[in-house]
A and B are shown apart, each in its own frame.
Chain A
Amino acid sequence: MKIVFDNVKFQYDSMKRNVLKGISFTIDKPEWISIIGHNGSGKSTLAKILVGLLSPTFGSIYVNDIELNEENLYEIRKHIGIVFQNPDNQFVATSVEDDIAFGLENNLIEREEMIKRVDDVLNLVSMKEFKNEMPSNLSGGQKQRVAIAGILAINPEIYILDEATSMLDPKGREDFLKIVKMLKEEGKTIIMITHDMNEALLTDRCIVLKDGEIIKDAKTIECLNDYELLKSSRLEMPSSLYVYHELKEKNYDNKEVLNALWESALKK
């Protein structure tokens, strides 16, 4: 699946300035991409444009060389799933299984197939024993796992995670990222939107947004090496990475220490 953003601009009705000022990038092979930027850089707007919740004020988006418009939107949404930030505000149904079935029902999947898929994805996200549980009895991490299970059931090629882990505790985040890694191994495209360098570290490619513009689109390793970029885009980063860059800037040249710091930053 190929996605092309061609000079996409976006402006909210109520605001004078553009939130996105001409975004262009291409995704043409399964990869794990992070879109990073501080608050207000336009990254969540970008996510909403990707799934067609907002349409750009200027520019176009091509999915498999077909321009995204009102008519083909529903067809394309079958290939793109999104998990939002707040675990509570995306849980539609009164029980876990019903919530997973919600998307399947909308996509007109046959009932027998639905029952099978609900069971399958619950196994995948290890939520089997919570099948009939009400959302109010689940933790944030469990709700996010149900959210991603709901998308897994549709089996799209592209998963967008819009700060999906930012409201979770460390354990919940770890469990969630485990599922994401599994998806990556299956060869899915994952677009992770985050302001946290710790998460972006896991990805192959990173797109850095600042004030509605892409200031860097490169391999994640390259982004990590660019201290000016990290500083100017005001991102949270692993402390070892911070120390590594600070030491380097002050011309500290003990290779062993620097290497150790670099390794530990990447391991995270």
Chain B
Amino acid sequence: MNNFVLGQYVPGNSYIYRIDPRVKIISTILLMISIFFLTSIYEILGALLLILIILISARISIIKAVRGLKPLLILSIFVFFFQIFFNQVGQVVYSVNLNFSLLSIIAIISLTVLFIIIRKYINFKFLLFLVYLGSLYASLVYIKTTDVYYTYVLNIFDKGLETSSFVFFRLVTMVFIATLLTLSTKPADITLGFEYLLRPLKIFKLNSEEFALIISIALRYIPTILDEALKIMDAQASRGADFKGGNVFKKIRIIVSLLVPMFVLSFERSDQLADAMLSRNYVPGKAKTKYHILKWKTFDTIVLIMSFIILGGSICLFVL
């Protein structure tokens, strides 16, 4: 369960780990902005190649970076197909007839039912989903009976294909840039970086130290509270609660029965934590000495300059 949030960070000691967190945060933002200035698929592929080179040279496992894509997979696939179906500009590169007949509709329904059933018992849900999509496609294309009700001609245009892969790869590149930060920087260091970067906001009465403390307490308690949720779920399951099955309403009721004790316990917890902090002489807003300080090194300046050069380069590409 710890892998959920905090496990993102992978310990290592390549050059990327030695970059100041402030610089990493700024560079990540700069690189992300640069991506938005790129207009063609070749430029995006170039950017992707650059990120991959950074990943490899920093000895960060590509597999871990690809795992970062997981939450966005469905979105990116949707975007990909959306563009292919609806962007009908340019020349037709591929054309196929989709036949809706009695038999193919039966096939679609039974495939869907099969997919829903198998999905519960299998680990590779995403692979299964792809197989499902593929078989839907096959049943529409290859089942040719005489009683066709409706034929949809699917035309794939070269521009559509290009835009869809452009959007897809842009998303992938963005995720890789973000993962580069989270894989190589401890959450505590990211928080510290933000604390430093947000210091100028003092003018607006925002105390960056308190802000950082709030974030670090939140991060620290995520695994603890998840653990607690699992315990409560176990306790309720042993009394007959069913967290997996049931319709939407039943699920909502079960979730409520989980949330109520979680809320009560969290308030209790925060009370005790507040006591512990006060007894250790914490006074909100009071100046503290610092255990962790960030030191700017020449290497950080180089990285920052390089990020600005990349941003400048992409703006040039955009303008020219």
Contacts and interface: CB of A to CB of B under 8 A. Distances in A.
Contacts of A118: 291
Tell me whether chain A's interface is mostly helix, strand or loop, or mixed.
Answer: helix
Q: Max chain A CB contacts within 10 Å: which of B223, B277, B278, B281?
A: B281
Given A95-B188, A98-B188, A106 B272 contact: no
A254 B287 CA distance: 67
A86 interface: yes
A89 B272 contact: yes
Chain A interface extent, by class: 35 or more
B276 A89 contact: yes
Interface residues of B, number: 31
Q: Which has the most chain B C-beta neighbours within 10 Å: A89, A90, A103, A114?
A: A89
A93 B220 contact: yes
B266 to A, nearest CB: 10
Interface in A95-129: 95, 97-98, 101-111, 114-115, 118
A92 B273 contact: yes
B203 interface: no
Given A89-B272, A90-B276, A106-B280, A135 B220 contact: yes
A136 B228 CA distance: 12
A109 B289 contact: yes
B223 A103 contact: no
Contacts of A92: 217, 220, 273, 276-277, 280
Nearest to B187: A94
Contacts of A115: 291
B299 interface: no
Interface stretch (A32-40, A77-85, A200-208): A77-85
Interface in A116-164: 118, 134-137, 150-151, 154
A48 interface: yes
Q: B187, B276, B283 — which one has the most chain A CB atoms within 10 A of its CB?
A: B276
B142 interface: no
Nearest to B215: A94
A53 interface: yes
Given A89-B273, A94-B188, A104 B291 contact: yes
A84 B275 CA distance: 9
B291 A53 contact: no
A46 interface: no
A39 B220 CA distance: 30
Nearest to B280: A103
Nearest to A106: B281
A109 B290 CA distance: 9
A136 B2 contact: yes
B122 interface: no
Contacts of B281: 74, 77-78, 103, 106-107
Interface in B259-316: 269, 272-273, 275-283, 286-293
A111 B279 contact: no
B273 A90 contact: yes
A91 interface: yes
Given A90-B272, A92-B220, A94-B216, A82 B279 contact: yes
A105 B290 contact: yes
A95 B282 CA distance: 18
Most chain B beta carbons < 10 A, residue from A52, A88, A118, A154 = A88
Contacts of B280: 77, 81, 92, 102-103, 106, 150-151, 154
B105 interface: no
Contacts of A134: 2, 6, 220, 223
User: Which of B2, B187, B278, B279 has the most C-beta atoms of chain A within 10 angstroms of its own C-beta?
Assistant: B279
A62 to B, nearest CB: 19
A53 B273 contact: no
A90 B290 CA distance: 20
A90 B269 CA distance: 9
A156 to B, nearest CB: 10
B275 A136 contact: no
Contacts of B223: 134, 136
Contacts of A91: 220
A77 B287 CA distance: 17
A190 to B, nearest CB: 16
Q: Which 8 A-B pairs have the closest CB atoms?
A: A90-B276, A101-B291, A89-B272, A136-B223, A103-B280, A105-B288, A106-B281, A94-B188
Interface of B: 2, 6, 187-188, 216-217, 219-220, 223-224, 227, 269, 272-273, 275-283, 286-293
